Structure 1
Amino acid sequence: MVDPSHTFHIADYAVFGLTILISIGIGIYYALSGGRQRTTSEYLVGGRTMQFIPVAISLMVSFESSIMMLGLPAEAYVYGIQWWWSCVGFLVAQLLSIIMLVPLIHPLQITSAYEYLQFRFNSTAVRLLGTALGMLTYVWYMGIVLFGPAIALEAVTGFPQWGSIFVIAFVAVIYTSIGGLKAVIWTDVFQAFVMYAGMLAVLIKGTIDVGGPSKVWEVASAGGFDPDPTVRHTFWALFFGSAIRGFGLAFNQSTVQRVSATKTQKEAKWVLLIVAPCFFFSLSMACYEGIVAYAYYETKGCDPLESNKISNPNQIIPFTVMDIFMSLPGMPGLFLASLFSASLSTLSSGLSSLSALLWADIVKPRIGEISELKATIIAKVSVVVFGLIGCGIALLVSIIGGPMTQIAASLLGAFAGPLTGLFLLGCFSPWANAKGAFLGGMISLVFSSWLSMGKNFAKGVKKEPWLSPASTSMCYVNTTSGSVDAMLEQTTPAGLLYSGSVLKLLNGTAMAESYEVGYGLHYTDAALSSAPGAQYPYTTTVGIEVMYSMSYLWIAPIGILTTLIVGTIISVITEGEVNPRYIINFFDQFCCYMPECFLKRLRFDDYRKAAYDDYTPPLKGTYLDTELVVVASDGKANNVAKEPLISRSEPDGYVTRNGVRDSDVIGNDAGGRTATENGITKNNITGNEVVETDVTEDGSHTGNDTVDECHHEKGGSDAERDENNQTN
């Protein structure tokens, strides 16, 4: 039931419509310009020539969907500001990804994130398992993202949810299918400005109406630090759980696709360095929006949830926007445009990523060589198909209640947990093999899915009480048309499922016989009290329900840990060949100031050297050490069907993909020096002394003496160094 005072002005429709038209226009432009998206490289990874600033903005808004715009404010409105600790956890994970992910992924020049799994484990089965988990995560994520603006539009205009779902999907499919990744990235840039304009407008106007920031924080709820894992939100679940889950974003197909689209490793690192603080700021803004809305209705004296003016906590922000901007035509349209922009950016990124996964991991290995035009057509058609699948998922999500943050974390955690575990197992475990990875991932998937389904659908699950609702003392209720029961029956939203008789007065006192609410609050024969926090008592949990009552934030971390533990145990039992080229040396990255003699032991040096001897044919002028340089199997830089080989340079140079020193190759030489674009290599750390070496085109060098705490001075002539290499 739409509030008669909440109607769109023609200016609102104009602002909203203009946003949609510009998004489609960008897609048309890139469909008709440049290479016209006729090759899979241009269509799926932007020709690998994208600038890092637009790529960073695109990656940032790819994760800032309607879940953030609607779900986080709803979470803060009904449960308080505890969720903010997740922002800190995500920030830590993204900063660590800069150090670990980029040096590992960017040199591979891959299209699908799951190509790494095949390289690491030398197993098609592990790669396909990763692809399946990734695609399941994406289609469910798109469904949740589509559902968000649909309920918002229904709250403010009465437009049916199913209609909104198909309209949003249609727009995203159009500009993604015709414009490719370039259209997705530049549309994301435009939509980012619209999104932040809408969010800031709500924050500023809402804070002013309440009476300033100090008044807003007076009604903010303090967070809890209870380590009980069955409590919905604790410091431990929010911070550490989110930090662990944050690595899932690092290995996300959207992240890998954009990292691969940049020219150099340095630019790829800048992408993530920009994204991390901006993402933190955006999530913090969304949490604060919920507190502003809570303070606004406390001051106004009419909680829209308690008074049944809205049917779902996810509708609180759209309803607030219509209230505070009632006298400012065009502003509600701006917010709705920002909400749709957030959803479109995420949806278009998901469609592009799914198209890349389908082509690189499933279609291409099975159909062999075909023309680039036919391959691009297949990728474009797949965008349309995945758009329709996303619509179907959105309709299913509409029957699951609760804040969108809970829906997303509990459902997506069942797939994202095992998937992230596979990547972490491959990156950090030098003993993990294909059998351990595959079985660990499968067992984790079954266990995580069981927890997720039980959490969302089991009866008798322990539910966390809402905050004391905002005041309803000033709500206007017209009871002249019939009894209170009749009024409640008329105003009971379709999204809530009541059983039994309900009589709830709007001044905060209430009486109830027995009822349950479809979006997750379950009460039995409870007399509701007006005391703060007592309106929603816990149910008693017994047996397996205790497991299902675990906080939804732990589902993904449990999936990750299950994969790591089971995968490690099976790998140790079965043994097997391991290619260490694709392992991140944790100690080299985070303990680089330690003496070389200790690092050599910590990096499993003897084991790695033996493996390199087996895998890498000897190259003239090279020797084995700890850092990586990636080349294609045929020596070409852009060979699509590549099986990377790892070569090692001597201290005065490095070997590139085509055997010629080239600044575009990412990797460190044996002494720790990293190639730069101007042909100069710099020693990162070798003991205490840091030196620089100039590398010329013919391989000559200057200034090569380094000192290490555990070894004698290294240096001398080229002949002496070659003699040392042969001895080693």
Structure 2
Amino acid sequence: MNSFGIVDYVAFGATILMSLGIGLYFALSGGRQRSTSEFLVGGRNMQIIPVALSLMVSFESSIMILGIPAEVYVNGAQIWISTFGQCLMVFFLTGLLVVPLMHPLKITSVNEYIQRRFNSRAVRLLGTFVGLLYYVFYMGIVVFGTAIGLEEVTDIPKVWSMFLVIFAAIIYTAMGGIKAVVWTDVFQTFIMTLGILVIIIKGTLDVGGVVEVWSAASKGGRFNMLNFDPDPTVRHTFWGLYFGNLARGLHLSFNQSTVQRICSMKTLRGAQKVTFLAGPIYWLSFTLSILIGIVAYSYYDHLGCDPLASGQITNPNQIVPFLTVDIFKGIPGMLGLFVAALCSASLSTVSSGLSSLSATTWEDILKHHLPNHSDFKATLVAKVAVIIYGVSSLGVAILISLVGGTLWQV
């Protein structure tokens, strides 16, 4: 089924090169990333809209493009309920509580707050260690998801796909710091959104229109939104999805990526605007991902052939790449756009993770043991940390390939 041509490789390659180019630009402009303030928090003078988009895509990835549609295809669209709880928590808790708490402190690592709050370095290091574990494993899952999509659509083996994504993220993050991460996120947001929209539009047209898509999904039970069953063993219910993700929103609010972006803003009001924008944008992106799953289900229901049941694919995470190849046969460049969108989603998450890990490693661990350092040497150490964590996440990605289930579940 592989039909990845020269135009597709050009579209895919251009996305990678553009991301690297942005990293090079910020490596050679301004203060040239020679200070930890510029490298880790952009000199605390970043702009609202780019940071809001960056914050949103920091929590998007191949999980958003592959995992959520796969979950919808197999189990229905009820996970949409989760976005309301999550966004409510991000909007109110982050904007109204976390930003006024964190921004005036001018911190770089969220764990700095922990030490001040509890007057304990041990508690701070515990937070650091848990955060490092979380991010390395999360990035590994994200990179593995990208490899699934690339292998399905191109001839690139999973291991090489993983290496390509990690390598690109390491290079532009180490070169350009948080500024490169934020501005590549802006570029990658455009590519992701375009890729998602063309799949939804083309798939809907192939099924016969919006009414046909809606009818097929409804008959197939994919709109089972309001399940109020109190049984906690049921996979998805209103209670688990809404209130569970209301609590899960705490993670987004006190996440290192969130705090790092909050403290990169010049003013408190600007930092609040970032969170007020990021919540609705995240909700919209999640909704578009759910629509891909609905379109995929309706498309194969329309054909009368479920690729999972027929054995054409063995993993539900392959459903979106499989659909993309099906609907864009004979149209040059469209598969390249999909791969570019998938890689953009993962690059944004991985680069944000690398920047966050670099910041916490320096501020929470190494800075304490290197009291007489120069700012230039500190920045160099932070850049080396980016490389180390990138390689670590590659190892995790290889391990994750042994785990079953949809990416959302993993």
| TM-score tier after normalising by the smaller chain length | over 0.9
Shift of 1:11: 1.0
Residue in structure 2 matching 1:384, options 384, 387, 400: 387
Match of 1:54 in 2: 50
Q: Contact between 2:22 and 2:180, CA under 8 Å: does it hold in 1?
A: yes
Q: Contact between 2:153 and 2:335, CA under 8 Å: does it hold in 1?
A: no
Find out whether 1:90 has 2:93 as its counterpart.
no
Residue in structure 2 matching 1:41, options 27, 37, 52: 37
Whole-Å Cα distance in 2 between the matches of residues 356 and 205 of structure 1? 42
Residue in structure 1 matching 2:242, options 239, 242, 257: 239
Match of 1:333 in 2: 336
Whole-Å Cα distance in 2 between the matches of residues 59 and 213 of structure 1? 32
Find out whether 1:166 has 2:163 as its counterpart.
yes
Q: Contact between 2:140 and 2:400, CA under 8 Å: does it hold in 1?
A: yes
Q: What does the per-residue CA deviation read over 1:390-445, in whole Å, with 9 as the maximum and x for residues that have no partner?
A: 000101111111111110xxxxxxxxxxxxxxxxxxxxxxxxxxxxxxxxxxxxxx
Whole-Å Cα distance in 2 between the matches of residues 111 and 365 of structure 1? 14
Matched residue of 1:82: which SS?
helix
Residue in structure 1 matching 2:111, options 107, 111, 114: 114
Q: Contact between 2:72 and 2:290, CA under 8 Å: does it hold in 1?
A: yes
Shift of 1:125: 1.0
Residue in structure 2 matching 1:265, options 264, 268, 286: 268
Q: What does 1:642-661 align with in structure 2 at a 5 Å threshold?
A: none
Q: What does the per-residue CA deviation read over 1:163-194, in whole Å, with 9 as the maximum and x for residues that have no partner?
A: 11111100000000011011111111111100
Matched residue of 2:263: which SS?
helix
Q: What does 1:516-665 align with in structure 2 at a 5 Å threshold?
A: none
Whole-Å Cα distance in 2 between the matches of residues 62 and 181 of structure 1? 12
**Structure ID, larger Rg:** 1
Shift of 1:137: 0.8
Matched residue of 2:305: which SS?
coil
Whole-Å Cα distance in 2 between the matches of residues 309 and 10 of structure 1? 26
Residue in structure 1 matching 2:191, options 194, 219, 222: 194
Whole-Å Cα distance in 1 between the matches of residues 275 and 208 of structure 2? 37
Shift of 1:214: 1.8
Shift of 1:301: 1.9
Residue in structure 2 matching 1:68, options 64, 69, 72: 64
Residue in structure 2 matching 1:320, options 297, 318, 323: 323
Task: Using the aligned pairs only, state the percent identity.
Answer: 58
Matched residue of 1:405: which SS?
coil
Whole-Å Cα distance in 2 between the matches of residues 15 and 172 of structure 1? 18
Match of 2:283 in 1: 280
Q: What does 1:123-202 align with in structure 2 at a 5 Å threshold?
A: 123-202=120-199
Whole-Å Cα distance in 2 between the matches of residues 143 and 208 of structure 1? 35
Q: Contact between 1:28 and 1:178, CA under 8 Å: does it hold in 2?
A: yes
Q: What does the per-residue CA deviation read over 1:234-254, in whole Å, with 9 as the maximum and x for residues that have no partner?
A: 111101001100111111000
Structure 2 residues not aligned, in runs of 5+: none
Matched residue of 1:261: which SS?
coil
Q: Contact between 2:177 and 2:355, CA under 8 Å: does it hold in 1?
A: yes
Whole-Å Cα distance in 1 between the matches of residues 155 and 39 of structure 2? 38
Residue in structure 1 matching 2:208, options 188, 208, 211: 211
Shift of 1:64: 1.1
Whole-Å Cα distance in 2 between the matches of residues 250 and 216 of structure 1? 36
Q: Which has the higher helix share?
A: 2
Whole-Å Cα distance in 2 between the matches of residues 17 and 37 of structure 1? 26
Residue in structure 2 matching 1:7, options 3, 6, 9: 3
Q: What does the per-residue CA deviation read over 1:7-61, in whole Å, with 9 as the maximum and x for residues that have no partner?
A: 1021111111100100000001111111110000000000001111111111111
Q: What does the per-residue CA deviation read over 1:50-86, in whole Å, with 9 as the maximum and x for residues that have no partner?
A: 1111111111111111111100000000001111111
Q: Contact between 2:216 and 2:302, CA under 8 Å: does it hold in 1?
A: no
Q: Contact between 1:145 and 1:343, CA under 8 Å: does it hold in 2?
A: yes
Whole-Å Cα distance in 2 between the matches of residues 311 and 168 of structure 1? 24
Residue in structure 2 matching 1:344, options 342, 347, 356: 347
Residue in structure 2 matching 1:31, options 16, 27, 33: 27
Structure with the bigger RCO (C-alpha within 8 Å, sep 6+) is 2
Whole-Å Cα distance in 1 between the matches of residues 192 and 200 of structure 2? 13
Matched residue of 1:219: which SS?
helix
Match of 2:371 in 1: 368
Q: What does 1:414-563 align with in structure 2 at a 5 Å threshold?
A: none
- Tell me the amino acid that sits aligned with residue 52 of structure 2: A
Whole-Å Cα distance in 1 between the matches of residues 342 and 154 of structure 2? 15
Whole-Å Cα distance in 1 between the matches of residues 313 and 160 of structure 2? 19
Q: What does the per-residue CA deviation read over 1:653-682, in whole Å, with 9 as the maximum and x for residues that have no partner?
A: xxxxxxxxxxxxxxxxxxxxxxxxxxxxxx
Whole-Å Cα distance in 2 between the matches of residues 200 and 368 of structure 1? 51
Whole-Å Cα distance in 1 between the matches of residues 406 and 87 of structure 2? 22
Matched residue of 1:148: which SS?
helix
Shift of 1:282: 0.4
Whole-Å Cα distance in 1 between the matches of residues 114 and 159 of structure 2? 38
Shift of 1:107: 0.5
Whole-Å Cα distance in 2 between the matches of residues 61 and 44 of structure 1? 18
Whole-Å Cα distance in 2 between the matches of residues 201 and 225 of structure 1? 35
- Tell me the amino acid that sits aligned with residue 302 of structure 2: T
Matched residue of 1:18: which SS?
helix
Shift of 1:327: 2.5
Match of 1:697 in 2: none
Shift of 1:213: 1.8
Q: Contact between 1:155 and 1:310, CA under 8 Å: does it hold in 2?
A: no
Q: What does 1:663-702 align with in structure 2 at a 5 Å threshold?
A: none
Shift of 1:225: 2.1
Match of 2:101 in 1: 104
Of residues 206-215 and 146-155 in structure 1, the stretch that sits farther from structure 2 once superposed is 206-215
Whole-Å Cα distance in 2 between the matches of residues 10 and 157 of structure 1? 11
Whole-Å Cα distance in 2 between the matches of residues 114 and 207 of structure 1? 47
Shift of 1:305: 1.1
Whole-Å Cα distance in 1 between the matches of residues 151 and 207 of structure 2? 26
Match of 2:409 in 1: 406
Whole-Å Cα distance in 1 between the matches of residues 198 and 273 of structure 2? 29
Whole-Å Cα distance in 2 between the matches of residues 131 and 236 of structure 1? 31
- Tell me the amino acid that sits aligned with residue 332 of structure 1: L
- Tell me the amino acid that sits aligned with residue 112 of structure 1: S
Give every structure 1 segment of 4 or more consecutive aligned residues whose post-TM-superposition deviation is greater than 3 Å. none
TM-score (ref. length: structure 1) = 0.55
Residue in structure 1 matching 2:255, options 234, 252, 257: 252
Whole-Å Cα distance in 2 between the matches of residues 307 and 329 of structure 1? 28
Whole-Å Cα distance in 1 between the matches of residues 281 and 209 of structure 2? 24
Whole-Å Cα distance in 2 between the matches of residues 219 and 177 of structure 1? 48
Whole-Å Cα distance in 1 between the matches of residues 372 and 254 of structure 2? 28
Q: What does the per-residue CA deviation read over 1:510-541, in whole Å, with 9 as the maximum and x for residues that have no partner?
A: xxxxxxxxxxxxxxxxxxxxxxxxxxxxxxxx
- Tell me the amino acid that sits aligned with residue 395 of structure 1: I
Residue in structure 1 matching 2:313, options 302, 310, 315: 310
